Amino acid sequence: MTKAIVIHEYGGPEVLKWEDVEVGAPGPGQVRIRQEAIGLNFRDTYHRSGSYGVPGDKFPAILGSEGAGVIEAMGEGVTGLHVGQRVTTCNGIIGAYSQIRNAKAENVLSLPDEIPFDTAAAAMFKGITAHYLIRQSYEVKKGETILIQAVAGGVGLIMCQWAKQLGATVIGTVGSAAKAEIAGNYGCDHIINYSEEDFAERVREITDGEGVPVVYDGVGLATYEGSLDCLANRGYLIGYGNASGNFPHVDPMDLMYNGSLYFQRASLRHFIRNRAELENATGELMPLLADGSIKVEIGHAYDLKDAAQAHQDLETRKTTGSVIFKP
Ligand SMILES: NC(=O)c1ccc[n+]([C@@H]2O[C@H](COP(=O)([O-])OP(=O)(O)OC[C@H]3O[C@@H](n4cnc5c(N)ncnc54)[C@H](OP(=O)(O)O)[C@@H]3O)[C@@H](O)[C@H]2O)c1
């Protein structure tokens, strides 16, 4: 028996239950991992509420997209991994909210000694998200000025540092003065508190009226119109999350009147479709985490049993940086 956070229905944080579960021996092609740290992601709240749901709407379900730990048993036919190995799982397959879990070996990556378990749990899923956003959805180029909404969050701080390394100037929005300070500590060049200021107006001022070539928006409903107003002619709005609610239906005429714009609602699963794409992303991310080029702000660490509290804090904008669970 092990303990896990389980849901039996969709709903608010209260549906997250701390229960005994039987993990059993790993099946063919699987390994059993004793987890040392688990990541909280905003998307976990969409799985919990039913907005994304869980695969096949099958209950009971264990949420959680990223974690790190040590292999303690191997299933039949697994090669290239061994008992005692430090590993991470991060490609978005749910099941991480558990002290012990079985995972398909094809989703398990070796974790270099230089990357602590907590860092991996805080940054692997968020980091491969940042990777596809700034390298593939829209490729950030040296000398560009870009806008990242909610820059003091988990994905936001990683994206900010990565874009800076690519030679971009980063404008970031935040919801409070405390978050502004954190964004500054991670190199954000221009910080706008969008609870107090009109962010589109400020972006126009900062860019001498030009606007930015790309806005990365994981906030959604509350920022959509303002994000369009920030874009330069033929700019890209990359929507990748709904923290404030879903993006509204996009009117193509809005895209035309605002400057022949592009809108993409991006999802990791269309960029990490197989092992080769996973290794490509983590192959770029891990060295940056290992040598400290990308630093990870672990704003909060909760006991796994307190997952409901963590979800509530994330959804009410109380968290900063990445949040992890200790099993
Ligand atoms: N599409 C993908 O492939 C993919 C993959 C991973 C993550 N995501 C998305 O990336 C975004 C960031 O994820 P994360 O886990 O790093 O979360 P996070 O950014 O740490 O937390 C979300 C932040 O959104 C801001 N926010 C603005 N309005 C909000 C509202 N009404 N309710 C709640 N938050 C609000 C808050 O920052 P302020 O207080 O500063 O406004 C909050 O801290 C999420 O939208 C997530 O779904 C997408």
Full pLDDT tens readout for the chain, 327 residues: 899 999 999 999 999 999 999 999 999 999 999 999 999 999 999 999 999 999 999 999 999 999 999 999 999 999 999 999 999 999 889 999 999 999 999 999 999 999 999 999 999 999 999 999 999 999 999 999 999 999 999 999 999 999 999 999 999 999 999 999 999 999 999 999 999 999 999 999 999 999 999 999 999 999 999 999 999 999 999 999 999 999 999 999 999 999 999 999 999 999 999 999 999 999 999 999 999 999 999 999 999 999 999 999 999 999 999 999 999
Q: What is the pLDDT of residue 92?
A: 84
Cis peptide bond upstream of 248, omega within 30: no
- Centre of ligand 1 to C-alpha 243, Å, is 5
Could you please state the CATH topology (level 3) that the domain comprising 142-265 is classified under.
Answer: Rossmann fold (3.40.50)
Q: Is 311 in the pocket of ligand 1 (CB under 6 A)?
A: no
Q: Is 127 in the pocket of ligand 1 (CB under 6 A)?
A: no
- Centre of ligand 1 to C-alpha 279, Å, is 25
Residue with tokens 């709005």: 237
Q: What is the pLDDT of residue 283?
A: 98
**For the chain, which residues make up each domain, given as ranges?**
2-123+273-326, 142-265
- Centre of ligand 1 to C-alpha 154, Å, is 8
Q: Is 92 in the pocket of ligand 1 (CB under 6 A)?
A: no
* Nearest residue (CA) to ligand 1, atom 16: 154
Contacts 24+ apart (CB under 8 A), 282-289: 282/90, 282/109, 282/124, 282/127, 282/128, 284/131, 284/135, 285/123, 285/124, 285/127, 285/128, 285/130, 285/131, 286/112, 286/115, 288/162, 288/165, 289/114, 289/115, 289/119, 289/120, 289/123, 289/127
Atom of ligand 1 nearest to the CA of 173: 40
Q: What is the pLDDT of residue 91?
A: 86
As a CATH number, domain 2-123+273-326 is 3.90.180.10
Q: With a threshold of 0.75, does the pTM exceed it?
A: yes
Q: Which DSSP string do the residues of 264-306 spell out, in sequence order? A: EE--GGGT--SHHHHHHHHHHHHHHHHTTSS---EEEEEEGGG
Q: What is the pLDDT of residue 159?
A: 98
Residue with tokens 């860092």: 119
Q: What is the pLDDT of residue 222?
A: 98
* Nearest residue (CA) to ligand 1, atom 11: 218
With vertex at residue 133, the alpha carbon angle to CA 131 and CA 136, rounded to the nearest 5 degrees, is: 85
Q: Is 218 in the pocket of ligand 1 (CB under 6 A)?
A: yes
- In this structure, are strands 322-326 and 86-89 parallel, antiparallel, or unpaired? unpaired
